Amino acid sequence: MSSWVAPAVAAEIWGVSLEQVMEHIANGTIPSRMDGRFLFVDVAAHGLPYPPEPHCSDQALVTPQELMALTGPASDDEDVLLDLSQWREARCLTGRLRRPPAQCAD
């Protein structure tokens, strides 16, 4: 079964850059078609997702700088790892502090 998507969506699904997808379209290794002015690629040409080149599995999805920006400075000790496993409990606790809109506060 085929699944036709835009090249940018295929790149995101496969975890590769858009340039790599465009190169494989030009080489003919990825099935593609034009529909009007739009280009589509088949992400499941043979029934399975098929990335053109395997991407590195050791790449971090979030860089240490991005993690620091999201969580704020941890402490003076750089070896401290943040425990983000209890996020549901923290969300529940902060949800209790929210006030409903004025029209529903009867």
Q: What's the alpha-carbon Rg for the chain, to the nearest Å?
A: 22
What pTM value is reported for the model? 0.44
Higher pLDDT, 81 or 26: 26
- Is it the case that residue 6 has pLDDT exceeding 60? yes
17 phi and psi angles, rounded to 5 deg: -80, 160
Query: Which residues are CB-neighbours of 40 under 8 A, at least 6 positions away?
Result: 4, 5, 6, 7, 32, 33, 34
Closest CA to 16 of 47, 51, 42: 51
**Cα–Cα distance between 66 and 62 in angstroms, integer?**
6
User: Each residue of 43-84: pLDDT tens digit?
Assistant: 876 544 555 555 555 555 777 788 778 777 655 555 556 667
What is the model's pLDDT at position 39?
Answer: 94
